[in-house]
Amino acid sequence: MGNKTGIQPEDLYQLKSLTDPQVSPDGKGVIYVQTHIDEEKKEYASNLYYIRLDEKKPVQWTYGSERNYSPRWSPDGSQLAFISTRKGTPQIFLLSSHGGEAKQLTHCKHGTRNPVWSPCGKKLAFSVIIGKDESIHDTQEKEKEKEVLKPLEVDRMKYKSDSGGFLNASNYTQIGILDIETNGLEQITSGNSDYELDSWSPDGKYIAYHADLSEERDFSFASDFYFYNVETKEAKAITKGDSGFWQGSWSPDSQYFSFLGSRQEFKNATQSKIWIYEVKTEELLCFTSDLDVPVGDYVVGDFQQGASLPGVTWAEDNQSFYFTASDHGNTIVYYGNLSGEIYPALHEDQHVYGFSLNKKDHTAIAAISNPELPGELFTIDLQTGEKKQLTHVNDGFLKDKLLSKPEAFEFQGSNGFTVQGWLMKPAGFVEGKKYPLVLEIHGGPHAMYANTYMNEFQILAGAGFAVLYANPRGSHGYGQKFVDAVRGDYGGNDYKDLMDALDYALENYNFIDKEKLGVTGGSYGGFMTNWIVGHTNRFKAAVTQRSISNWISFYGVSDIGYYFTEWQILSDLKDIEKLWKHSPLAYAENIQTPLLILHSEKDYRCPIEQAEQLFISLKRQKKKTKFIRFPESNHELSRSGNPDLRIKRLEYIKEWFIDYLSE
């Protein structure tokens, strides 16, 4: 081991995140986004890097301390469109693949996102926010008036979001088209609805987008696909009903349109599937109806910045395609074709969080992480499964760090469910020594712990703790019945699964000190932490993060409160007794465990009043507790929040457990 040390909270400044790889049209190179934290500015900085696959040497294409992201090749590969914040709001810029300065293409008042090329390479479609009495031609420079405080008029239930704050009722996401040669702008959607741009058909005829155009959107959670005819300027719905669809993509011959989504049979616990629409016959088929895994990436992570996966990626033969699915702690790349074949093309203990296919030869560039690898790019031969590492951006930092490799296990939970978990030994583990343990619980609950890098876990391991984590019922990756089993049973068998995981670890790993156990989690994991300390005293310290403590008040204050409560607790304000029965606050008098409460001031998903109620209840009873409020932060603090506050949060967690669990 030499002088190697475990990961520390401040090491976040040294780590780099690689995301969104995009293979060039000629298949000879890849562009990607590299993000780091500017330690002087205390802000994230993202730049674009290019690698020729035959040289394997990264070349930086953009510079500066702003955010440059969403790189998209022109069809002929001669140009690259991307989004940059270098002029303030995010706008589309154009860069020649032969070098030179990037040219700003859009100057929209509220910024732009999601550039999509036309097949001819002369136009770009994009998403843009446009307010009442505003035009796509309005620029930020035209807004000279001093901001005046105004009352917020609210007449709808969906009036705020955790990521967007209080929503302007007159602002909607629309779709625009930019003519690169003339700089002409055209707005193709309008009205009081949000339109999400997806893709442009390879034959140039259609722009696909999805939207919820129902009149009662407070009670609608649908998202249907539409084809906008570029020539006639008319839009046609290709799906309709109580369904949620997203991430559309075309076969190269424009005969098939694929997308992800579900009929929402189990509300937000429904597994996403692949749907294929045949343009000529207008037939819609659920391709993965018999595949009992959710299509897409449902992995819980706390490190990658701006990671995203495509939905379905078609090969050049117009018959075959690739997609990713979350399965038993891994993201797997599957192969499928129109004949109905489905099988894993890349199945290893890892997290594939970025993917770009070379359509000509069934090779790909994938962004991959595992518990000891924060994330790098790999070349993949999807026919042989051969994988070669392409980038090494974190090697220099990690060579002096001691990382813990988790050991996976399974056990039989109640009702016949098999539950998967992992145990990480402390960094620098010494045989024969006893160690304290921290149980980590993920949010969601419809998400999945996986074989991916977790910075928080490595920090706890580096501080001398064993780390236990599991996927209790309600988690994705183990079938539809498993993910649905938590609804209406919060604090029931999900709680038993976690306690059974702890019992399994204590029975099978004799280095764990049974008298020094801690527990922590965020969001649903915060709810469960609150629930656990109200129902058992076996833990000697706990940290609850962005938690739920009272389902009665949560119903009215969360940005998703009324429908999430109805979907998950299967109750509403007409049954206060049931909401209170599932509320950790109802059991606060039983809490004896020292509890640290972490919460963000601008968390609209689990508003801070949830933490306030629990804190005051415990202090009134003279229990051991402490309340930390993070300013100007929302529900995403641990993943993408202010860098200094992210580090502070990690320090609070680490020190609380050291104080109560270490000798």
DSSP secondary structure of 599-659: EETT-SSS-THHHHHHHHHHHHTT-SEEEEEETT--TTHHHHS-HHHHHHHHHHHHHHHHH
- Beta carbons within 8 Å of 290's beta carbon, 6+ residues apart: none
Q: Could you give the percent of the chain with pLDDT greater than 90?
A: 92
- List, for residues 259-304, the tens digit of each pLDDT value: 999 999 999 999 999 999 999 999 999 999 999 999 999 999 999 9
For residue 238, the model assigns a pLDDT of: 96
pLDDT of 246 over the 80 cut:
yes
Over the Cα atoms of the chain, what is R_g?
25
For residue 99, the model assigns a pLDDT of: 86
In 229-247, which positions are buried (b, 16+ CB within 10 angstroms) versus exposed (e)?
Answer: ebeeeebeebbeeebbbeb
CA angle 297, 195, 176 (to 5 degrees): 110
CA angle 220, 191, 556 (to 5 degrees): 35
Which residue type is seen at 422? W
For residue 57, the model assigns a pLDDT of: 94
Q: How many helices (H) and strands (E) does the chain have?
A: 11, 40
Q: How confident is the model at residue 145 (pLDDT cuts 50, 70, 90)?
A: low
Question: Where in the chain are the domains?
Answer: 17-141+173-192, 398-661
> What is the 3 state secondary structure string of 499-543?
HHHHHHHHHHCCCEEEEEEEEEEECHHHHHHHHHHCCCCCCCEEE
Q: For residues 90 and 451, what is the distance between their CA atoms, to the nearest angstrom? A: 33
Three-class secondary structure of residue 146 per DSSP: coil
- List, for residues 415-436, the tens digit of each pLDDT value: 889 999 999 999 999 999 999 9
Q: How confident is the model at residue 144 (pLDDT cuts 50, 70, 90)?
A: low
Three-class secondary structure of residue 4 per DSSP: coil
- Beta carbons within 8 Å of 296's beta carbon, 6+ residues apart: 247, 260, 272, 309, 311, 324, 325, 326
Q: For residues 225 and 207, what is the distance between their CA atoms, to the nearest angstrom? A: 10
pLDDT of 663 over the 80 cut:
no
pLDDT of 242 over the 80 cut:
no
Q: How many residues are listed for the chain in this entry?
A: 663
- Which tokens hold the place of 14? 């040294």
pLDDT of 220 over the 90 cut:
yes
Q: CA separation (Å) from 144 to 134, 140, 147, 149, 659?
A: 15, 8, 9, 15, 53
For residue 169, the model assigns a pLDDT of: 77
Could you confirm whether domain 17-141+173-192 is CATH 2.60.40.350? no
- List, for residues 110-141, the tens digit of each pLDDT value: 999 999 999 999 999 999 999 988 999 999 76
Q: What is the mean pLDDT of residues 162-177?
A: 91
Q: For residues 295 and 476, what is the distance between their CA atoms, to the nearest angstrom? A: 10
Which residue type is seen at 22? Q
Q: How confident is the model at residue 79 (pLDDT cuts 50, 70, 90)?
A: very high
DSSP summary character for residue 425: P
pLDDT of 142 over the 60 cut:
no
pLDDT of 321 over the 90 cut:
yes
- List, for residues 82-110, the tens digit of each pLDDT value: 999 998 999 999 999 988 899 999 999 99
- Which tokens hold the place of 94? 């154009």
Q: What is the mean pLDDT of residues 372-384?
A: 96
Residue 530 φ/ψ, nearest 5 degrees: -60, -40
pLDDT of 467 over the 70 cut:
yes
For residue 170, the model assigns a pLDDT of: 83
Q: How confident is the model at residue 8 (pLDDT cuts 50, 70, 90)?
A: very high
Q: What is the mean pLDDT of residues 401-411?
A: 97
Q: For residues 64 and 43, what is the distance between their CA atoms, to the nearest angstrom? A: 12
CATH superfamily of 398-661: Alpha/Beta hydrolase fold, catalytic domain (3.40.50.1820)
Question: Which residue, 218, 221, 178, is CA-closest to 197?
Answer: 178
pLDDT of 28 over the 70 cut:
yes
pLDDT of 41 over the 70 cut:
yes
Q: How confident is the model at residue 659 (pLDDT cuts 50, 70, 90)?
A: very high
DSSP summary character for residue 498: H
Q: For residues 182 and 263, what is the distance between their CA atoms, to the nearest angstrom? A: 43
First to last CA, the chain: 24
- List, for residues 171-218, the tens digit of each pLDDT value: 999 999 999 999 999 999 999 999 999 999 999 999 999 999 998 889
Question: Which residue, 636, 558, 539, is CA-closest to 596?
Answer: 539
In whole numbers, what is the pLDDT of the chain averaged over residues?
Answer: 96
Residues known to be catalytic: 523, 635
Residue 270 and residue 264 in contact, taking contact as beta carbons nearer than 8 Å: yes
Place of tokens 């280095």: 511
Q: How confident is the model at residue 527 (pLDDT cuts 50, 70, 90)?
A: very high
Q: How confident is the model at residue 2 (pLDDT cuts 50, 70, 90)?
A: low
- List, for residues 387-405, the tens digit of each pLDDT value: 999 999 999 999 999 999 9
pLDDT of 253 over the 60 cut:
yes
